[in-house]
Chains A and B, each alone.
Chain A
Amino acid sequence: MPVLAPLLTVRRLSLAFALPQGGRASVLDGLSLDIAPQEALALVGESGSGKSVFALALLRLLDRHAEITDGEIRIEGEDLLHASDKRMQDLRGKTLAIIFQNPASSLNPIRRIGRQIADVLLAHGERSADAARRRAVQMLARVGIQDAARRANAYPFELSGGMKQRVMIALALAASPRLLIADEATTGLDVTTQAMVMDLIHEQARANNMATLLITHDLALAAERCDRIAVIHAGQLVESAPAARLLTAARHPYTRALLTATPHAGSTLANLRAIPGQAPDTAAADLPACRYYARCDRRTELCKSLPPMQTASSNGAHVVACHHPL
Chain B
Amino acid sequence: MTVLFQARGLRKAFGNGEHRRYAVDGVDITVAEGEALALAGESGSGKSTIGLIMARLLDHDEGEILFDGQEIGKCSARRAAQQPWRAQIQMVFQDAGGAFDPRLSISDSVALPLRRLSHSRGNALTHAVEDALDRAGLAGHLFRRKPHELSGGQLARAGIARAIALRPRLLILDEPTAALDVSVQAGILHLLNELRRDLNMAMVFVSHDLNVLRVLCSRVMVMEHGNIVEEGPVGRVFASPAHPFTTRLLAALPKWPRSEGLPHQLPGSALIIHSQ
Contact = CB atoms under 8 A, between A and B. Distances in A.
Interface of A: 46-47, 190-195, 217-221, 223-225, 227, 242-245, 247-249, 251, 257-258, 260-269, 272-275, 278, 313-315, 317-318, 325-326
B124 interface: no
B253 A265 contact: yes
B182 A217 contact: yes
Residue among B182, B190, B269 facing the most chain A CB atoms (10 A cut-off): B182
Given A267-B211, A269-B190, A314 B257 contact: no
Nearest to A325: B267
Interface stretch (B64-72, B85-93, B258-266): B258-266
B275 A242 contact: yes
B7 to A, nearest CB: 25
Given A249-B263, A269-B193, A278-B151, A46 B183 contact: yes
User: Top 10 nearest A-B pairs by Cβ distance?
Assistant: A274-B187, A275-B183, A264-B256, A220-B254, A190-B42, A224-B254, A274-B186, A263-B211, A191-B252, A314-B270
B208 A191 contact: yes
Nearest to A160: B44
28 contacts: A47-B181, A190-B42, A191-B42, A192-B249, A193-B42, A219-B182, A220-B211, A220-B253, A223-B275, A242-B274, A244-B262, A244-B274, A248-B273, A251-B267, A257-B183, A260-B186, A263-B211, A265-B211, A265-B214, A266-B258, A267-B211, A269-B189, A269-B193, A269-B215, A272-B190, A274-B184, A274-B190, A275-B186
Interface residues of B, number: 46
Interface string B181-217: 1111111011001000000000000001111101110
A224 B208 CA distance: 19
Given A191-B249, A272-B189, A249 B273 contact: yes
A313 B269 contact: yes
Nearest to B181: A46
A320 to B, nearest CB: 9
A314 B268 contact: yes
Contacts of A192: 42, 248-249, 252
Contacts of B266: 249
A47 B156 CA distance: 15
Q: Is the interface of A mostly helix, strand, loop or mixed?
A: loop
B257 A248 contact: yes
Interface in B225-276: 238, 248-249, 252-259, 262-270, 272-275
A249 B254 contact: no
B43 interface: yes
Interface of B: 42-43, 151-152, 181-187, 189-190, 193, 208-212, 214-216, 238, 248-249, 252-259, 262-270, 272-275
A47 B179 CA distance: 10
Contacts of B275: 223, 227, 242-245
Given A264-B211, A315-B270, A247 B256 contact: yes
Given A190-B43, A247-B259, A263-B212, A217 B181 contact: yes
Contact of A248 (B186, B262, B270): B262
Given A242-B274, A318-B272, 7 more contacts: A192-B248, A195-B252, A223-B254, A261-B186, A264-B256, A313-B269, A314-B269
Contact of B183 (A225, A261, A265): A261
Contact of A258 (B183, B189, B190, B272): B183
A264 B275 CA distance: 18
Nearest to A315: B270
Contacts of B152: 47
A263 B214 contact: yes
B257 A247 contact: yes
Contacts of A317: 272
B45 to A, nearest CB: 9
B211 A245 contact: no
B246 to A, nearest CB: 12
Contacts of B269: 313-314
Nearest to A189: B43
Contacts of B256: 220, 223, 247, 264-266
A143 to B, nearest CB: 19
Contact of A225 (B193, B212, B254): B254
A4 B270 CA distance: 19
Contacts of B248: 192
Nearest to A278: B151
Contacts of B208: 190-191
Contacts of B267: 251, 325
Contacts of A268: 215
Contacts of A315: 270, 272
A263 B265 CA distance: 22
Nearest to B44: A190
Nearest to B255: A224
A249 B186 contact: no
A139 B216 CA distance: 43
Contacts of A260: 186
